[in-house]
Protein backbone atom coordinates (compact mmCIF):
# COMPACT_ATOMS: atom_id res chain seq x y z
CA UNK A 1 0.00 0.00 0.00
CA UNK A 2 1.21 3.52 -0.82
CA UNK A 3 0.96 6.01 2.01
CA UNK A 4 -0.32 9.20 0.30
CA UNK A 5 -0.19 11.11 3.54
CA UNK A 6 3.53 10.85 3.72
CA UNK A 7 4.83 11.88 0.25
CA UNK A 8 8.15 13.63 0.21
CA UNK A 9 7.91 16.25 -2.57
CA UNK A 10 11.64 16.82 -2.55
CA UNK A 11 12.17 13.15 -3.22
CA UNK A 12 9.43 12.89 -5.85
CA UNK A 13 10.59 15.83 -7.98
CA UNK A 14 14.20 15.47 -6.99
CA UNK A 15 14.59 19.08 -5.91
CA UNK A 16 17.70 18.06 -4.08
CA UNK A 17 19.10 16.31 -7.14
CA UNK A 18 19.76 18.27 -10.39
CA UNK A 19 19.93 15.15 -12.54
CA UNK A 20 16.31 14.06 -11.97
CA UNK A 21 14.82 13.50 -15.47
CA UNK A 22 11.25 14.35 -14.36
CA UNK A 23 12.34 17.80 -13.18
CA UNK A 24 14.30 18.39 -16.37
CA UNK A 25 11.19 17.53 -18.40
CA UNK A 26 9.08 19.98 -16.38
CA UNK A 27 11.47 22.79 -17.29
CA UNK A 28 12.47 21.84 -20.79
CA UNK A 29 9.07 20.86 -22.21
CA UNK A 30 7.45 24.35 -21.89
CA UNK A 31 10.58 25.93 -23.35
CA UNK A 32 10.38 23.64 -26.38
CA UNK A 33 6.64 24.30 -26.72
CA UNK A 34 7.17 28.07 -26.55
CA UNK A 35 10.04 27.97 -29.05
CA UNK A 36 7.93 26.24 -31.69
CA UNK A 37 4.39 27.31 -30.81
CA UNK A 38 4.90 30.56 -28.83
CA UNK A 39 3.61 32.85 -31.57
CA UNK A 40 0.58 30.64 -32.18
CA UNK A 41 -0.29 30.67 -28.47
CA UNK A 42 0.07 34.46 -28.38
CA UNK A 43 -2.05 34.69 -31.54
CA UNK A 44 -4.79 32.63 -29.87
CA UNK A 45 -4.77 34.77 -26.71
CA UNK A 46 -4.77 38.06 -28.65
CA UNK A 47 -7.39 36.72 -31.07
CA UNK A 48 -9.82 36.25 -28.20
CA UNK A 49 -9.54 39.91 -27.18
CA UNK A 50 -9.80 41.16 -30.75
CA UNK A 51 -12.77 38.93 -31.49
CA UNK A 52 -14.62 40.48 -28.54
CA UNK A 53 -13.81 43.98 -29.85
CA UNK A 54 -14.98 43.05 -33.37
CA UNK A 55 -18.25 41.77 -31.94
CA UNK A 56 -18.71 45.12 -30.19
CA UNK A 57 -17.90 47.00 -33.42
CA UNK A 58 -20.43 44.87 -35.27
CA UNK A 59 -23.00 45.84 -32.62
CA UNK A 60 -22.18 49.54 -33.01
CA UNK A 61 -22.52 49.51 -36.82
CA UNK A 62 -25.79 47.56 -36.62
CA UNK A 63 -27.15 50.01 -34.03
CA UNK A 64 -26.14 53.01 -36.17
CA UNK A 65 -27.74 51.50 -39.28
CA UNK A 66 -30.97 50.62 -37.47
CA UNK A 67 -31.22 54.05 -35.84
CA UNK A 68 -30.65 55.73 -39.22
CA UNK A 69 -33.30 53.67 -41.01
CA UNK A 70 -35.81 54.19 -38.18
CA UNK A 71 -35.12 57.93 -38.11
CA UNK A 72 -35.61 58.28 -41.86
CA UNK A 73 -38.85 56.27 -41.75
CA UNK A 74 -40.25 58.31 -38.82
CA UNK A 75 -39.14 61.81 -39.72
CA UNK A 76 -38.83 61.99 -43.49
CA UNK A 77 -41.87 59.93 -44.53
CA UNK A 78 -40.13 58.42 -47.58
CA UNK A 79 -42.30 57.27 -50.46
CA UNK A 80 -40.62 53.85 -50.50
CA UNK A 81 -38.60 51.70 -48.08
CA UNK A 82 -35.23 53.50 -47.68
CA UNK A 83 -33.33 50.40 -46.45
CA UNK A 84 -31.95 49.36 -49.83
CA UNK A 85 -30.72 52.85 -50.73
CA UNK A 86 -29.14 53.37 -47.30
CA UNK A 87 -27.40 49.98 -47.40
CA UNK A 88 -25.95 50.82 -50.80
CA UNK A 89 -24.60 54.10 -49.49
CA UNK A 90 -22.92 52.50 -46.46
CA UNK A 91 -20.38 50.87 -48.76
CA UNK A 92 -19.47 54.04 -50.65
CA UNK A 93 -15.80 54.91 -50.46
CA UNK A 94 -13.62 57.94 -51.19
CA UNK A 95 -10.34 57.60 -53.05
CA UNK A 96 -7.96 60.34 -51.97
CA UNK A 97 -5.93 62.03 -54.74
CA UNK A 98 -2.38 60.89 -55.47
CA UNK A 99 0.12 62.91 -53.43
CA UNK A 100 3.37 61.80 -55.09
CA UNK A 101 3.44 65.29 -56.58
CA UNK A 102 1.95 67.36 -53.73
CA UNK A 103 1.55 70.48 -55.85
CA UNK A 104 -2.17 71.34 -55.94
CA UNK A 105 -3.21 68.34 -53.86
CA UNK A 106 -5.32 70.45 -51.46
CA UNK A 107 -7.57 71.60 -54.30
CA UNK A 108 -7.94 68.00 -55.44
CA UNK A 109 -8.83 66.81 -51.91
CA UNK A 110 -11.34 69.66 -51.54
CA UNK A 111 -12.90 68.80 -54.91
CA UNK A 112 -13.19 65.09 -54.04
CA UNK A 113 -14.72 65.77 -50.61
CA UNK A 114 -17.17 68.35 -51.89
CA UNK A 115 -18.26 66.02 -54.68
CA UNK A 116 -18.93 63.38 -52.01
CA UNK A 117 -20.81 65.89 -49.80
CA UNK A 118 -22.96 67.02 -52.75
CA UNK A 119 -23.68 63.43 -53.67
CA UNK A 120 -24.65 62.55 -50.08
CA UNK A 121 -26.98 65.53 -49.87
CA UNK A 122 -28.69 64.70 -53.16
CA UNK A 123 -28.87 61.04 -52.23
CA UNK A 124 -30.54 61.78 -48.87
CA UNK A 125 -32.85 64.34 -50.49
CA UNK A 126 -33.98 61.75 -53.01
CA UNK A 127 -35.36 59.68 -50.10
CA UNK A 128 -37.87 62.43 -49.39
CA UNK A 129 -37.67 65.52 -51.65
CA UNK A 130 -39.99 67.55 -49.37
CA UNK A 131 -37.80 67.30 -46.26
CA UNK A 132 -36.57 70.54 -44.74
CA UNK A 133 -32.88 71.48 -44.47
CA UNK A 134 -32.74 70.73 -40.73
CA UNK A 135 -33.93 67.13 -41.11
CA UNK A 136 -31.73 66.71 -44.17
CA UNK A 137 -28.61 67.80 -42.28
CA UNK A 138 -29.42 65.47 -39.38
CA UNK A 139 -29.88 62.48 -41.69
CA UNK A 140 -26.64 63.27 -43.56
CA UNK A 141 -24.76 63.28 -40.24
CA UNK A 142 -26.44 60.03 -39.11
CA UNK A 143 -25.47 58.54 -42.46
CA UNK A 144 -21.87 59.65 -41.94
CA UNK A 145 -21.91 58.04 -38.48
CA UNK A 146 -23.27 54.76 -39.87
CA UNK A 147 -20.77 54.81 -42.76
CA UNK A 148 -17.82 55.48 -40.42
CA UNK A 149 -18.77 52.65 -38.04
CA UNK A 150 -19.34 50.32 -40.98
CA UNK A 151 -15.90 51.15 -42.39
CA UNK A 152 -14.16 50.80 -38.99
CA UNK A 153 -15.72 47.35 -38.54
CA UNK A 154 -14.70 46.24 -42.01
CA UNK A 155 -11.08 47.40 -41.67
CA UNK A 156 -10.55 45.88 -38.20
CA UNK A 157 -12.19 42.63 -39.27
CA UNK A 158 -10.02 42.53 -42.41
CA UNK A 159 -6.80 43.02 -40.42
CA UNK A 160 -7.82 40.34 -37.92
CA UNK A 161 -8.85 37.76 -40.52
CA UNK A 162 -5.69 38.34 -42.57
CA UNK A 163 -3.48 37.66 -39.52
CA UNK A 164 -5.53 34.57 -38.65
CA UNK A 165 -5.45 33.28 -42.20
CA UNK A 166 -1.69 33.63 -42.42
CA UNK A 167 -1.26 32.37 -38.82
CA UNK A 168 1.03 35.37 -38.46
CA UNK A 169 1.32 36.83 -34.96
CA UNK A 170 3.40 39.94 -35.86
CA UNK A 171 0.69 40.88 -38.34
CA UNK A 172 -1.88 41.17 -35.54
CA UNK A 173 0.39 43.31 -33.30
CA UNK A 174 -0.33 46.71 -34.91
CA UNK A 175 -4.06 45.99 -34.61
CA UNK A 176 -3.68 45.02 -30.95
CA UNK A 177 -1.84 48.28 -30.28
CA UNK A 178 -4.33 50.62 -31.97
CA UNK A 179 -7.49 48.73 -30.99
CA UNK A 180 -8.13 50.58 -27.67
CA UNK A 181 -8.03 53.92 -29.53
CA UNK A 182 -10.30 52.61 -32.28
CA UNK A 183 -12.76 51.26 -29.71
CA UNK A 184 -12.82 54.57 -27.82
CA UNK A 185 -13.57 56.45 -31.01
CA UNK A 186 -16.18 53.95 -32.21
CA UNK A 187 -17.93 54.05 -28.83
CA UNK A 188 -17.92 57.88 -28.89
CA UNK A 189 -19.32 57.92 -32.46
CA UNK A 190 -22.12 55.54 -31.42
CA UNK A 191 -22.97 57.67 -28.39
CA UNK A 192 -23.23 60.73 -30.65
CA UNK A 193 -26.35 59.36 -32.38
CA UNK A 194 -29.03 60.61 -29.88
CA UNK A 195 -27.68 64.19 -29.85
CA UNK A 196 -27.92 64.44 -33.64
CA UNK A 197 -31.36 62.81 -33.73
CA UNK A 198 -32.72 65.27 -31.16
CA UNK A 199 -30.89 68.31 -32.50
CA UNK A 200 -28.98 68.93 -29.26
CA UNK A 201 -25.76 71.00 -29.27
CA UNK A 202 -22.58 68.93 -29.04
CA UNK A 203 -19.26 69.87 -27.39
CA UNK A 204 -17.80 70.85 -30.77
CA UNK A 205 -20.60 73.43 -31.07
CA UNK A 206 -19.22 75.68 -28.32
CA UNK A 207 -17.55 78.02 -30.88
CA UNK A 208 -20.74 78.48 -32.96
CA UNK A 209 -22.74 78.83 -29.70
CA UNK A 210 -20.60 81.76 -28.50
CA UNK A 211 -20.53 83.52 -31.90
CA UNK A 212 -24.20 82.64 -32.56
CA UNK A 213 -25.23 84.45 -29.38
CA UNK A 214 -23.25 87.53 -30.42
CA UNK A 215 -25.03 87.41 -33.81
CA UNK A 216 -28.55 87.35 -32.36
CA UNK A 217 -29.49 90.98 -32.98
CA UNK A 218 -27.61 91.41 -36.24
CA UNK A 219 -28.69 91.24 -39.84
CA UNK A 220 -27.55 87.90 -41.21
CA UNK A 221 -26.53 86.94 -44.73
CA UNK A 222 -25.36 83.73 -46.36
CA UNK A 223 -21.76 84.40 -47.30
CA UNK A 224 -20.79 80.89 -48.44
CA UNK A 225 -22.55 77.53 -48.61
CA UNK A 226 -24.25 76.93 -45.22
CA UNK A 227 -22.18 79.73 -43.68
CA UNK A 228 -23.71 82.86 -42.12
CA UNK A 229 -22.24 86.31 -41.59
CA UNK A 230 -23.43 89.00 -39.18
CA UNK A 231 -21.97 92.45 -38.51
CA UNK A 232 -21.94 94.52 -35.34
CA UNK A 233 -20.01 97.27 -33.57
CA UNK A 234 -17.94 96.71 -30.45
CA UNK A 235 -16.13 99.61 -28.74
CA UNK A 236 -15.59 101.41 -32.05
CA UNK A 237 -14.43 98.26 -33.87
CA UNK A 238 -16.39 96.59 -36.65
CA UNK A 239 -16.98 92.91 -35.98
CA UNK A 240 -17.66 90.38 -38.73
CA UNK A 241 -19.23 87.37 -37.06
CA UNK A 242 -19.08 84.09 -38.93
CA UNK A 243 -20.48 80.63 -38.19
CA UNK A 244 -22.09 77.67 -39.91
CA UNK A 245 -25.81 78.04 -40.51
CA UNK A 246 -27.73 76.56 -37.57
CA UNK A 247 -29.57 74.86 -36.08
CA UNK A 248 -28.84 72.13 -38.63
CA UNK A 249 -25.90 69.78 -38.37
CA UNK A 250 -23.47 71.81 -40.48
CA UNK A 251 -19.88 72.98 -40.25
CA UNK A 252 -20.25 75.40 -43.15
CA UNK A 253 -17.45 76.42 -45.48
CA UNK A 254 -15.42 78.93 -43.46
CA UNK A 255 -12.59 78.89 -46.02
CA UNK A 256 -14.81 80.18 -48.82
CA UNK A 257 -16.47 82.62 -46.42
CA UNK A 258 -13.14 84.11 -45.27
CA UNK A 259 -12.09 84.50 -48.91
CA UNK A 260 -15.28 86.39 -49.70
CA UNK A 261 -15.13 88.62 -46.59
CA UNK A 262 -11.43 89.49 -47.03
CA UNK A 263 -12.04 90.43 -50.68
CA UNK A 264 -14.75 92.93 -49.68
CA UNK A 265 -13.72 94.08 -46.18
CA UNK A 266 -10.16 93.21 -45.25
CA UNK A 267 -10.15 92.60 -41.48
CA UNK A 268 -7.18 93.65 -39.32
CA UNK A 269 -7.25 90.49 -37.27
CA UNK A 270 -8.99 87.11 -37.37
CA UNK A 271 -10.09 85.38 -34.16
CA UNK A 272 -11.09 81.72 -34.32
CA UNK A 273 -12.98 79.99 -31.49
CA UNK A 274 -13.05 76.21 -31.63
CA UNK A 275 -13.17 73.05 -29.55
CA UNK A 276 -9.82 71.27 -29.26
CA UNK A 277 -8.95 67.77 -28.14
CA UNK A 278 -7.57 67.79 -24.61
CA UNK A 279 -4.47 65.87 -23.73
CA UNK A 280 -4.62 62.97 -21.28
CA UNK A 281 -4.40 64.39 -17.78
CA UNK A 282 -5.81 67.77 -18.79
CA UNK A 283 -9.11 68.88 -17.30
CA UNK A 284 -12.10 69.09 -19.58
CA UNK A 285 -13.59 72.47 -20.53
CA UNK A 286 -10.45 74.49 -19.83
CA UNK A 287 -9.67 77.24 -22.30
CA UNK A 288 -6.40 78.21 -23.95
CA UNK A 289 -5.32 81.02 -26.24
CA UNK A 290 -2.84 80.82 -29.08
CA UNK A 291 -1.96 81.78 -32.62
CA UNK A 292 -2.87 80.20 -35.94
CA UNK A 293 -6.01 78.84 -37.55
CA UNK A 294 -7.96 76.80 -35.01
CA UNK A 295 -9.96 74.49 -37.23
CA UNK A 296 -9.99 70.71 -37.52
CA UNK A 297 -11.06 68.43 -40.32
CA UNK A 298 -8.97 67.07 -43.13
CA UNK A 299 -7.07 70.36 -43.53
CA UNK A 300 -8.52 71.95 -46.66
CA UNK A 301 -10.38 74.71 -44.79
CA UNK A 302 -7.36 75.45 -42.60
CA UNK A 303 -5.11 75.62 -45.66
CA UNK A 304 -7.47 78.08 -47.36
CA UNK A 305 -7.75 80.35 -44.28
CA UNK A 306 -3.97 80.29 -43.66
CA UNK A 307 -3.33 81.04 -47.34
CA UNK A 308 -5.64 84.08 -47.38
CA UNK A 309 -4.32 85.37 -44.04
CA UNK A 310 -0.71 85.05 -45.20
CA UNK A 311 -1.32 86.77 -48.55
CA UNK A 312 -3.13 89.65 -46.81
CA UNK A 313 -0.83 89.79 -43.77
CA UNK A 314 -3.68 89.27 -41.28
CA UNK A 315 -2.74 87.81 -37.88
CA UNK A 316 -4.86 84.89 -36.69
CA UNK A 317 -5.61 84.46 -32.98
CA UNK A 318 -7.22 81.36 -31.53
CA UNK A 319 -9.21 80.49 -28.43
CA UNK A 320 -9.87 76.81 -27.83
CA UNK A 321 -12.08 74.97 -25.35
CA UNK A 322 -10.47 71.63 -24.49
CA UNK A 323 -12.51 68.44 -24.45
CA UNK A 324 -12.29 64.71 -25.15
CA UNK A 325 -13.33 63.13 -28.45
CA UNK A 326 -16.46 61.79 -26.75
CA UNK A 327 -17.38 65.22 -25.34
CA UNK A 328 -16.80 66.85 -28.73
CA UNK A 329 -19.37 64.76 -30.56
CA UNK A 330 -21.95 64.03 -27.85
CA UNK A 331 -24.39 66.31 -25.99
CA UNK A 332 -22.52 69.34 -24.66
CA UNK A 333 -21.53 68.94 -21.02
CA UNK A 334 -22.48 71.49 -18.38
CA UNK A 335 -18.82 72.42 -17.83
CA UNK A 336 -18.31 73.19 -21.52
CA UNK A 337 -21.58 75.17 -21.78
CA UNK A 338 -20.60 77.17 -18.69
CA UNK A 339 -17.43 78.35 -20.43
CA UNK A 340 -19.46 80.45 -22.90
CA UNK A 341 -19.40 83.65 -20.77
CA UNK A 342 -15.71 83.24 -19.95
CA UNK A 343 -14.76 82.79 -23.61
CA UNK A 344 -16.91 85.77 -24.64
CA UNK A 345 -15.02 87.99 -22.20
CA UNK A 346 -11.71 86.58 -23.50
CA UNK A 347 -12.79 87.48 -27.05
CA UNK A 348 -13.66 91.03 -25.97
CA UNK A 349 -10.32 91.37 -24.20
CA UNK A 350 -8.48 90.01 -27.24
CA UNK A 351 -10.23 92.53 -29.52
CA UNK A 352 -9.46 95.37 -27.09
CA UNK A 353 -5.78 94.39 -26.75
CA UNK A 354 -5.02 93.74 -30.43
CA UNK A 355 -7.01 96.35 -32.34
CA UNK A 356 -7.63 100.08 -32.26
CA UNK A 357 -11.00 101.81 -32.67
CA UNK A 358 -12.00 101.93 -36.34
CA UNK A 359 -10.33 98.61 -37.16
CA UNK A 360 -12.11 95.46 -38.34
CA UNK A 361 -12.21 92.05 -36.67
CA UNK A 362 -13.32 88.76 -38.19
CA UNK A 363 -14.58 86.41 -35.48
CA UNK A 364 -15.21 82.79 -36.52
CA UNK A 365 -17.09 80.24 -34.41
CA UNK A 366 -15.73 76.96 -35.74
CA UNK A 367 -17.50 73.62 -35.31
CA UNK A 368 -20.71 71.69 -35.84
CA UNK A 369 -23.67 73.96 -35.26
CA UNK A 370 -26.31 71.32 -34.51
CA UNK A 371 -28.94 72.85 -32.20
CA UNK A 372 -27.30 76.29 -32.39
CA UNK A 373 -29.14 78.95 -34.40
CA UNK A 374 -27.92 82.52 -34.77
Partner 1 sequence: MFSKDEIIVAYTLEKCKSCNMERKRKFKKGDYLFTETSKCDSCDGIMQIEKIFGEIIEKS
Is the bond leading into 247 cis (omega within 30 degrees of zero)?
yes
Tell me if 108 contacts partner 1 by CB under 8 A.
no
Residue 27 CB, nearest approach to partner 1 (Å): 40
Tell me if 216 contacts partner 1 by CB under 8 A.
yes
135 φ/ψ angles, rounded to the nearest 5 degrees: -65, -40
What is the edge-to-edge ordering of all strands in the sheet holding 237-244? 220-224, 227-234, 237-244, 360-365, 269-277, 316-323, 287-291
Q: How far apart are CA 51 and CA 38, in angstroms?
A: 20
Pick between residue 190 and residue 300 the one whose CB is nearest to partner 1: 190
Binding residues for partner 1, total number by CB under 8 A: 28
Pick between residue 216 and residue 298 the one whose CB is nearest to partner 1: 216
Q: Which residues ranging from 324 to 353 are in contact with partner 1 (CB under 8 A)?
A: 326, 330-334, 336-338, 340
368: nearest Cα among 137, 184, 214? 137
Pick between residue 97 and residue 373 the one whose CB is nearest to partner 1: 373
Which of 10, 17, 99, 184 binds partner 1 (CB under 8 A)? It is: 184
Tell me if 178 contacts partner 1 by CB under 8 A.
no
Tell me if 365 contacts partner 1 by CB under 8 A.
no
Q: How far apart are CA 36 and CA 26, in angstroms?
A: 17
Tell me if 173 contacts partner 1 by CB under 8 A.
no
Tell me if 200 contacts partner 1 by CB under 8 A.
yes
Relative to beta strand 227-234, strand 316-323 is unpaired
Tell me if 70 contacts partner 1 by CB under 8 A.
no
Q: How far apart are CA 362 and CA 230, in angstroms?
A: 10
Decide: 312 and 332 in contact? Cβ < 8 Å: no
Q: How far apart are CA 349 and CA 346, in angstroms?
A: 5
Which of 212, 252, 255, 367 binds partner 1 (CB under 8 A)? It is: 212
Which of 86, 209, 261, 361 binds partner 1 (CB under 8 A)? It is: 209
Pick between residue 264 and residue 334 the one whose CB is nearest to partner 1: 334
Taking contact as CB under 8 A, which single stretch among the options 153-161, 180-188, 231-239, 255-263 is the one that binds partner 1?
A: 180-188
Decide: 322 and 288 in contact? Cβ < 8 Å: yes
Provide the 3-class DSSP secondary structure of residue 363. Answer: strand
Q: How far apart are CA 226 and CA 128, in angstroms?
A: 20
Pick between residue 196 and residue 303 the one whose CB is nearest to partner 1: 196
Which of 230, 247, 254, 255 binds partner 1 (CB under 8 A)? It is: 247
Decide: 153 and 57 in contact? Cβ < 8 Å: yes
Residue 83 CB, nearest approach to partner 1 (Å): 25
Binding site for partner 1 (CB under 8 A): 180, 183-184, 187, 198-201, 209, 212-213, 216, 246-247, 326, 330-334, 336-338, 340, 371-374
Amino acid sequence: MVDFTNIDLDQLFGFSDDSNPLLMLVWILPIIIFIFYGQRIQLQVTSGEIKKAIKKLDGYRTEARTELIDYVKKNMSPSEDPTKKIDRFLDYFTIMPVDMDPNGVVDKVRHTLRAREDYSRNHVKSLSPDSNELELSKVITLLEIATSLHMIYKIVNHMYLTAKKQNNYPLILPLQMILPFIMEEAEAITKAIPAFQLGQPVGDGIGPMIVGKMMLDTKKELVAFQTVLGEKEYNGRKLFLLKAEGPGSNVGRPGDAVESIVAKNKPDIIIMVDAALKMEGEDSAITAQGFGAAIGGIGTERFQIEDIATKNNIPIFAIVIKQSIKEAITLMTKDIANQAENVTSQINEMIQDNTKPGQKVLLIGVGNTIGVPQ
